[in-house]
Copies of this chain bind each other. A is one copy, B any other.
Amino acid sequence: MKEKILRINTAKRKSQKDSVPETWQHLGGRGLLACILVDEVPATCEPLGAKNKLIFAPGLMVGHRLSSCDRISIGGKSPLTGGVKEANAGGTTGLAIAQLGIKAIILEDKPINDAWQIIHISAEGVKFESADELIGMGVYETAPHLLEKYGKKVAIALIGQGGEMELSAAGIQNLDKEGIPSRMAGRGGLGALMGSKRIKAIVIDFSGGKKPSIADQPAFNAAKKSYTKALIGHPQTKTYHDYGTASMVNMTSYFGSIPTRGFSEGTFEGAEKISGENMRETLLERGGESNPSHACMPACTIQCSNIYGGEDGKTLVSPLEYETIGLLGSNLGIDDLDTVARLNWELNDLGLDTIEIGAALGVAAQAGLLDWNDGTRALQLVSDIKTGSPLGRILGNGAATTGKVLGVERVPVVKGQAMPAYDPRAIKGTGVTFATSPQGADHTCGLTIRAKIKHTEPEGQAELSRGSQINMAGFDTLGACLFAGFGFAAATGSIAALLNARYGWDVDENILQELGKETLKLERKFNRLAGFTPADDRLPEWMTRETLPPTNAVFDVSDEDLDNVFKW
């Protein structure tokens, strides 16, 4: 079965299946998104207008329940940054799309009325159904309705009230393997883009689907075995299995780069309380539904995710990730994981990016709208977003808008997108990534914290970031999780072997970097056409002069270095 491009016109409520253009065939996930955007979306169009498109593209490796390699890339022109946007997530959406033989779903146009729709996709075709009864519902209430109606063998991508309100911090939720809407393609406002097309949910029934065809099954099995073994045996796999991404709390604390009270300090006196180690201990103690090691995708062997149960053992939220802990915890001076979990649940339900809202709340605190370590007030402000009040809409449009409206200069954003939980002054390679990534500040676009380098020195950081950005753009094109990289690195040649076996190609081990470079080049082309220049590849000015205790670092990587990141 040849894979197809599924085009859905949201104004005419029609769909068609097209063959895959030759220049798209070697791409998937993030790389394919960038290629489609460059080919089909006018870069200067209004992000929430009819000319923008919302695209779902599983990565090249998706569809086979290969550990940590079934991610879905979702993209379009970002309502938050105005540039290229890819956000990826685990869950089952990628798997379902790939198993229906679809290489990408492209949602086009926008209806002129406000009638909300559900798009149902199956082996039989595409149908539109009214979503009227779901409007105003959070994702936790919406998903069970849809599962009840459409059966259990479906993947769902859906938005909460944040997306309905077209807020720039709105993401798109995806079901995890238990059917809980908890895997968010969170960054860059793609939920607003989905809302602008008046689509509440996309239901993908893959009961009539099957694994994508494999050109050389024995070779694929061999490569899979070698990769999986290497991944399971890697020491980091054990760390992430036990402590999840929250293990990062101690690491960023060690380097003095955990965002604290509005990115004003790099260490947090409550770090131990919000650490992965403490979280694991708490969850094991509490029992019940609590689980420190939970897989976000079927067949993932790392299981870095978790189910965070309260004192009664009942789920408070799942998952609770490092980025959320950093932005809604230390960044707000909050040292209580239960409070962070409650904030996380509310934002998940609204379908809002916890990084963006955490940063926005940090800005609001600087404007005097909440005190540090005031979880009750933070929850009130989140509830303001739900009501659509003016203040709620300010916060829901993210940190940059919040800073602009409230008159706060110290806003941690690049290209309008909030920084994840690595203060870039103390981890300068990651700062280079934040500054120069076509996506805006994004921790999944090229972390450098594990490199053996003095992170507060400006020299060498641009090269470090370049390599990391290329690799991550490659992984995102494969549909592979960042942590799959542990396995690929240990099992040399396994990426090429898997792709050759799957597609009948003849690529060598440079393929990851080749895909990464092509992707970055396409993304930068789109941004250039949209009006981005080197002036956009900078950290905010205040981070270049305000020192960050305790390292007292400022961001001092030279503009020249920043401008050379993509000259390879």
Chain A positions near chain B (C-beta within 8 angstroms) = 43-46, 48-49, 51, 165-168, 389-391, 393-394, 397, 401, 404-407, 409, 529-536, 538, 540-542
Let me know if B407 and A165 touch, CB within 8 A: yes
- Chain B nearest CB, measured from A430 CB (Å): 21
What 3 pairs across the A-B complex have the smallest Cβ distances? A531-B535, A390-B391, A390-B390
Contacts of A391 in B (CB 8 A): 390
29 A-B contact pairs sorted by A residue (CB < 8 Å):
A44-B535, A44-B538, A44-B541, A45-B541, A46-B409, A46-B542, A48-B409, A49-B541, A51-B541, A165-B407, A168-B404, A389-B390, A390-B390, A390-B391, A390-B394, A390-B405, A393-B394, A393-B405, A393-B406, A394-B394, A397-B405, A401-B404, A401-B405, A529-B535, A530-B535, A531-B532, A531-B533, A531-B536, A532-B533
Contacts of A43 in B (CB 8 A): 535
Q: How far is the CA of A181 from the CA of B538 in the complex (A)?
A: 40
Q: How far is the CA of A401 from the CA of B168 in the complex (A)?
A: 13
Q: How far is the CA of A365 from the CA of B41 in the complex (A)?
A: 30
Q: A46-B541, A49-B542, A535-B43 are in contact. Are A397 and B404 (CB under 8 A)?
A: yes
Q: How far is the CA of A168 from the CA of B45 in the complex (A)?
A: 25
Contacts of A397 in B (CB 8 A): 404-405
Q: How far is the CA of A247 from the CA of B531 in the complex (A)?
A: 39
Q: How far is the CA of A409 from the CA of B195 in the complex (A)?
A: 13
Q: How far is the CA of A224 from the CA of B529 in the complex (A)?
A: 50
Q: How far is the CA of A43 from the CA of B533 in the complex (A)?
A: 13
- Chain B nearest CB, measured from A530 CB (Å): 6
Contacts of A389 in B (CB 8 A): 390
Kindly report which residue of chain B lies nearest to residue A42, judged by CB atoms: B541
Q: How far is the CA of A531 from the CA of B528 in the complex (A)?
A: 11
Q: How far is the CA of A306 from the CA of B114 in the complex (A)?
A: 47
Contacts of A405 in B (CB 8 A): 390, 393-394, 397, 401, 405
Contacts of A165 in B (CB 8 A): 407
- Chain B nearest CB, measured from A304 CB (Å): 35
Q: How far is the CA of A46 from the CA of B397 in the complex (A)?
A: 21
Contacts of A538 in B (CB 8 A): 44
Kindly report which residue of chain B lies nearest to residue A406, judged by CB atoms: B393
Kindly report which residue of chain B lies nearest to residue A367, judged by CB atoms: B393
Kindly report which residue of chain B lies nearest to residue A393, judged by CB atoms: B405
- Chain B nearest CB, measured from A57 CB (Å): 25
Kindly report which residue of chain B lies nearest to residue A390, judged by CB atoms: B391
A390-B405, A393-B394 are known contacts; what are 11 more A-B pairs with Cβ within 8 Å? A46-B409, A49-B409, A390-B394, A390-B406, A393-B407, A401-B401, A401-B405, A529-B535, A531-B532, A531-B536, A532-B533
- Chain B nearest CB, measured from A436 CB (Å): 14
Contacts of A535 in B (CB 8 A): 43-44, 529-531
Kindly report which residue of chain B lies nearest to residue A384, judged by CB atoms: B390
Contacts of A166 in B (CB 8 A): 407
Contacts of A44 in B (CB 8 A): 535, 538, 541
- Chain B nearest CB, measured from A44 CB (Å): 5
Contacts of A394 in B (CB 8 A): 390, 393-394, 405
Contacts of A529 in B (CB 8 A): 535
- Chain B nearest CB, measured from A244 CB (Å): 35
Contacts of A530 in B (CB 8 A): 535
Q: How far is the CA of A48 from the CA of B401 in the complex (A)?
A: 15
Q: How far is the CA of A167 from the CA of B529 in the complex (A)?
A: 31
- Chain B nearest CB, measured from A562 CB (Å): 12
Q: How far is the CA of A45 from the CA of B540 in the complex (A)?
A: 9
Kindly report which residue of chain B lies nearest to residue A537, judged by CB atoms: B531
Q: How far is the CA of A51 from the CA of B544 in the complex (A)?
A: 13
- Chain B nearest CB, measured from A409 CB (Å): 6
Contacts of A167 in B (CB 8 A): 407
- Chain B nearest CB, measured from A477 CB (Å): 27
Kindly report which residue of chain B lies nearest to residue A400, judged by CB atoms: B404
- Chain B nearest CB, measured from A152 CB (Å): 35
Q: Which of B45, B46, B533 contacts A533 (CB 8 A)?
A: B533
Q: How far is the CA of A404 from the CA of B534 in the complex (A)?
A: 24
- Chain B nearest CB, measured from A383 CB (Å): 15
Q: How far is the CA of A43 from the CA of B535 in the complex (A)?
A: 9
- Chain B nearest CB, measured from A263 CB (Å): 15
Q: How far is the CA of A32 from the CA of B476 in the complex (A)?
A: 50
- Chain B nearest CB, measured from A533 CB (Å): 4
Contacts of A168 in B (CB 8 A): 404
- Chain B nearest CB, measured from A425 CB (Å): 17
Q: How far is the CA of A206 from the CA of B374 in the complex (A)?
A: 54
Q: How far is the CA of A404 from the CA of B390 in the complex (A)?
A: 12
- Chain B nearest CB, measured from A549 CB (Å): 18
Q: How far is the CA of A339 from the CA of B529 in the complex (A)?
A: 45
Q: How far is the CA of A257 from the CA of B71 in the complex (A)?
A: 51
- Chain B nearest CB, measured from A276 CB (Å): 36
Contacts of A531 in B (CB 8 A): 532-536
Contacts of A532 in B (CB 8 A): 531, 533
Contacts of A542 in B (CB 8 A): 46, 49
Contacts of A404 in B (CB 8 A): 168, 397, 401
Most chain B CB neighbours (cut-off 10 Å) among A43, A51, A390, A394:
A390
